[in-house]
Structures are given as structure tokens and as C-alpha cells.
Amino acid sequence: MSVTIYHNPDCGTSRNVLALLREAGENPQVIEYLKTPPDRATLERLIADTGMAVRDVLRIKGTPYKELGLGDPALSDAQLIDAMLAHPILMNRPIVATPRGTRLCRPSDAVTGLLDRAPEHEVLKEEGVPFIVARAIASNDAGFVNALRDVDLPGSDLDEAGRSFFAFSTLAGSHVGYGGFEQYGSDVLVRSVIVEPQHRGKGIGRNLIAVLLREAFDAGARKAWLFTTNATALFEKAGFKPAARDAAPATILATRQATDLCPATATLLSRAITL
């Protein structure tokens, strides 16, 4: 398979993606975009092929995004691309182009969907956690329902509309947990996140949440909310921060979790969903 990766060797995510491509038997063309930036036509085609908005491709952290005022919603796509051509660091995540599609691969697990054949053995990232994949499941999946019951998480509303649930496993097929979200336009309520006991305390929970948020991002969500009574530390490691209830949109406050399934003492957390 013909594979091209737009790569920054100083980016851990990009190094992980490149390593998995090679582990899968691919010999990708590696373009270091800081040394050899794509021209305008190539960049426009890459972004179009990802299906993403130009603004969503811009990297904020570690780039001149704020100094250049690129958060201004009045800026056109052409102006944003001008900035990327002048400052290629604004890409700063791996983009992989294959006959199966083109993706901005963050988290690095996102590249698994582009592989003709993913490795069937455990593959670890540089940080020591395995690559994981998400599989959509039905709300009445027996393993999922039993797992919720085992950790005393609410499940009486699982079959209501607007909910998406996933099972997560490693490339070798080891089941690591579950998670889901309810979507309300560009907002999602993250819920039903479970890391299997044998995989806790190893950084897998944070990775699972990143893959779950990528599913939400691809569904059009840009802000995540959640209620928790005992997992604040896990979610804060994944970028969530405490939020006042009056800061949440009415759709989130009207959810079953907010109104009757979670106790009034549950902590509300939120974060932007960006790549």
C-alpha cells in the first residue's frame, strides 16, 4: 500500500504513528514538513481529504497560533492556510495519506483505521501504553451492561436516543474498557467510562479517553462535559477541568445524568475537544 506521512521527528505522536506504520509492514514515504512544507495545492488537498475544517487542522499548543491571532473567527480558510504555509509548525501533528483515506492521526491510535492489516500483537507507544482501538457496541451489550453494574455506574437510560458506546481493546485483542457519550450538537456528555481492573494505574485510562474523544470529535463535537463522583483525578489527567454547573449549556444540565442519575454532589468537569 502506498503510504505518506507528514512527519515531525520532534513530535511524540508522530513518532508513534510512524513506528506503528512500520510495525504493520508499511514502508511509508516520510515528509518532514518543517524541512519540506507542502505547497498550497498539496496542503489544501490534504485538508480536504481528511474531511476536516481548515481551522480544526491548526495546532494551538507550542505554535504561534495565539500570537498570529488565528483564533479570530473572521479569518477565511485561505488566510489560515497562508499562516500554515508561513509557519508549518501550525500543522504539528502527523497527517497520513493512504488509498484507504487520509487522517490527521491524533491520538496516534487513529492511524489504525488506515491500515490494510493492523499488527495482531501488542504494540506499545513510546510512553509505554498500548495502541488501542474502539469498536462501536449496542447499548444493551451484555459485557458493557455488566461492567456498569459492577462499578455502580448508572445504566437505566442506556437505550435512549443520542448515545454512542464503545468497547476498547489493544491490537492483540485484550479488552481494556468501555466508554460512551451523549451528543447535543457540538457538546457531548462523556459517560460510562470504565477501565478494567487489571489495566488500571498504567496510563491506559487516559489513552482510552483520548480515543473516545476522537470519536466524539469525528461526530462533530468540540466540547466535552462529564459528571463524576470518584474519578476526578483520571479525567483531569486527560485534560478536563472543574466547571461550575451554571457554565454548562442547558442541554447538558437537562440530561438524565444531571437531573436524577448522578448525585447533586457529583463534580462537573469539562474540556475542549481538539486534536
pLDDT in tens, 94-111: 999 999 999 999 999 999
Residues 61 and 156 grouped into a single domain:
no
C-alpha span between 190 and 168 (Å, rounded): 15
Residues 184 and 233 grouped into a single domain:
yes
Provide the domain count of the chain: 2
Last residue of a domain, one of 114, 149, 175: 114
CA distances from 241 to 4, 185, 190, 225 (A): 36, 21, 13, 10
Residues 145 and 185 grouped into a single domain:
yes
- The pLDDT of residue 52: 97
Last residue of a domain, one of 82, 114, 146: 114
Residue 32, pLDDT above cutoff 90: yes
Mean pLDDT of 196-206: 94
C-alpha span between 126 and 95 (Å, rounded): 19
Mean pLDDT of 113-125: 96
Residues 211 and 256 grouped into a single domain:
yes
Residue 210, pLDDT above cutoff 90: yes
Question: Mean pLDDT for the chain?
Answer: 97
CA distances from 249 to 65, 183, 233 (A): 27, 12, 24
Residues 55 and 167 grouped into a single domain:
no
* Structural domain includes residue 138: yes
Asked if 275 and 104 count as a contact pair (C-beta separation under 8 A), the reply is yes
pTM for this entry: 0.96
Asked if 238 and 210 count as a contact pair (C-beta separation under 8 A), the reply is yes
* 241: nearest Cα among 269, 268, 266: 269
Residues 206 and 161 grouped into a single domain:
yes
Domain that residue 13 falls in:
4-114
Residue 231, pLDDT above cutoff 90: no
The per-residue DSSP string of the chain comes to ---EEEE-TT-HHHHHHHHHHHHTT---EEEETTTS---HHHHHHHHHHHT--HHHH---TTSSTTTTTTT-TT--HHHHHHHHHH-GGGT-S-EEEETTEEEE--SGGGGGGG-SS--SS--B-TTSPBPEEEEEE-TT-HHHHHHHHHTT---TTTTSTTEEEEEEEETT--EEEEEEEEEETTEEEEEEEEE-GGGTTTTHHHHHHHHHHHHHHHTT--EEEEEESS-HHHHHHTT-EE--GGGS-HHHHTSHIIIIIS-TTPEEEEEE---
* Structural domain includes residue 125: no
Residues 137 and 264 grouped into a single domain:
yes
Last residue of a domain, one of 87, 114, 141: 114
Asked if 120 and 172 count as a contact pair (C-beta separation under 8 A), the reply is yes
Residue 266, pLDDT above cutoff 90: yes
Residue 45, pLDDT above cutoff 90: yes
| CATH label of the domain that carries residue 58 | 3.40.30.10
Residue 230, pLDDT above cutoff 90: no
Residues 105 and 186 grouped into a single domain:
no
130 forms bridges with which residues in the sheet? 124
- Kindly indicate the confidence band of residue 1, based on its pLDDT and cuts at 50, 70 and 90: confident
Residues 101 and 193 grouped into a single domain:
no
Q: Which residues are catalytic?
A: 11
- The pLDDT of residue 252: 98
Residues 104 and 160 grouped into a single domain:
no
